[in-house]
Amino acid sequence: MVGVICRPNTQEKLEILSADAQYDLACACSANKEEHRRRSGDGRWIYPVTLPNGGKSTLFKTLISNVCSNDCKYCPLREQMDIRRCSLRPAETAKVFLDYYNQRKVYGLFLSSGVLGSADATMDRLNGVARLLRKKYGFRGYIHLKIIPGASDAAIEEAVSLASTVSLNIETPGAKNLEKLSKKKKYIQDIIEPIKLISKLTARGSRYAKTKQTTQFIVGAAGESDAEIVKYMHGLYERLKMHRVYFSAYQKGLGDESIAGEQAKEEPTDILMREHRLYQVDFLLRKYGFKESDIIFENNGCLSLGIDPKEAWALRHSEAFPVNVNRASRFSLLRVPGLGPVTVKQILERRKQRFLRRIEDVGKVGVRLKKARQYLAF
């Protein structure tokens, strides 16, 4: 009996490659469970996103190829894995995307890839799709391109010139942690130097200042502490002006068994909560005026799984409370657990009109305001 192996068509390749794209979160995708990728008849390659203006839309998200010559132990697509491999040509990728875009099913494109041959050969495919969309079809909308570790300066600059957003995953905090996961990647040469180059190319006042830069940490695979991640995260925001940092919890069973023990010892619920706590720290650094030194860690260098990082700071700094809701600065109000930027803005506006005498004067009392009440004075 003779078995016939058929070549997958474009639709079948999209089914495979869009499913494999789920492991990369370094785009505008929300961390909320309610906003994960759509699983409807529209196709698994359509992902909900939060737009820069706060609205909601969708991205067409796929890999160009799941063929990969890298050995990253956390990755289910690494070279050693026996999976069905396939690749999309730039022309067919551009065509399928435009079909969806013209039907107004998607807002933009997120394009990533395994390492197909060499970093620059892969970048040529990624840039090739963007090149076709921008120069042949006149597309002026949103394009997010992944930068492949080890890509040349010229390939990186072309991607920056074509994309709305680019990202190169930092993966781990420091070279020693990356060495636990990959013997092929060079942390400084392949990851840090390219990230610095992108930062320089997209700096304020530069030619490509409108292009945004994001990155992603793989949480838990290398046995790193939260304190290490936060230190690097703070540096990415302060020194390199990173637009967003994302986190992806290492998923047991997908990676090499050698990191399924000591280096990835968290239970599934714990690692997901750890990822959530890091996102909360990210918001404190970006939106609340917190510094790295304000973040409270437990003795093992990790964030508390039981208390959110803002409340942990408040419990450590009892001298800062209660905060007078009618006199405190925006900075002090943002330190109050349960108060976010929207509520603080509301407080500042309302107290111009009248004296606030009770928590109900702040807004509708829900879980967050109930928490805030114990830290406020009227």
Question: Half-sphere exposure of residue 208, counting CA atoms within 13 Å on the CB side?
Answer: 20
pLDDT in tens, 303-322: 999 999 999 999 999 999 99
pLDDT of res. 31: 40
215 pLDDT band (50/70/90 cuts)?
very high
**Chain centroid to CA 264:** 20
Token couple for 263: 């280096």
> Of 53 and 49, which is predicted with more confidence?
49
pLDDT of res. 313: 97
pLDDT of res. 87: 85
SS3 287: helix
Q: What is the pTM of this model?
A: 0.86
CB contact burial 136-170 (16+ within 10 A = b; e otherwise): eeebeebbbbbbbbbbeeebbbbbbbbbbbbbbbb
Whether the pLDDT of residue 42 is over 80: the answer is no
CB contact burial 241-271 (16+ within 10 A = b; e otherwise): ebbbbbbbbbbbeebbeebbeebbebeeeeb
- φ, ψ for residue 38, nearest 5 deg: -70, 140
Domains of the chain (ranges; CATH) run 10-308 (3.20.20.70), 317-377 (1.10.150.320)
Provide, rounded to the nearest whole percent, the portion of the chain with pLDDT above 70: 83
Average pLDDT, the chain: 86
SS3 188: helix
Q: What Cα–Cα distance (Å) separates residue 106 from each residue in 18, 189, 214, 254, 264?
A: 14, 36, 21, 29, 36
Whether the pLDDT of residue 48 is over 80: the answer is no
Separation of alpha carbons 245 and 280, rounded Å: 12
Q: Are 215 and 170 in contact (CB under 8 A)?
A: yes
71 pLDDT band (50/70/90 cuts)?
confident
pLDDT in tens, 79-96: 777 777 888 899 999 999
170 pLDDT band (50/70/90 cuts)?
very high
Whether the pLDDT of residue 51 is over 70: the answer is no
Q: Are 67 and 87 in contact (CB under 8 A)?
A: yes
> Of 141 and 20, which is predicted with more confidence?
141
Whether the pLDDT of residue 135 is over 50: the answer is yes
pLDDT in tens, 244-282: 999 988 877 666 666 655 455 567 778 889 999 999 999
- Parallel, antiparallel or unpaired: strands 212-219 and 108-112: unpaired
Please provide the DSSP assignment of 88-143 as one string: --HHHHHHHHHHHHHTT--SEEEEE----SSHHHHHHHHHHHHHIIIIIS---SEE
Query: Angle at the Cα of 108 (from 159 to 40), degrees rounded to 5?
Result: 135
pLDDT of res. 76: 77
SS3 9: coil
Helix (H) or strand (E) holding 229: helix 226-238
Whether the pLDDT of residue 360 is over 50: the answer is yes
Give the lowest-confidence range in 127-136, 154-163, 249-258, 303-312: 249-258
Ramachandran region, residue 223 (left: φ > 0; alpha: ψ -120 to 50; beta: rest): left
Separation of alpha carbons 61 and 55, rounded Å: 18
pLDDT of res. 21: 67
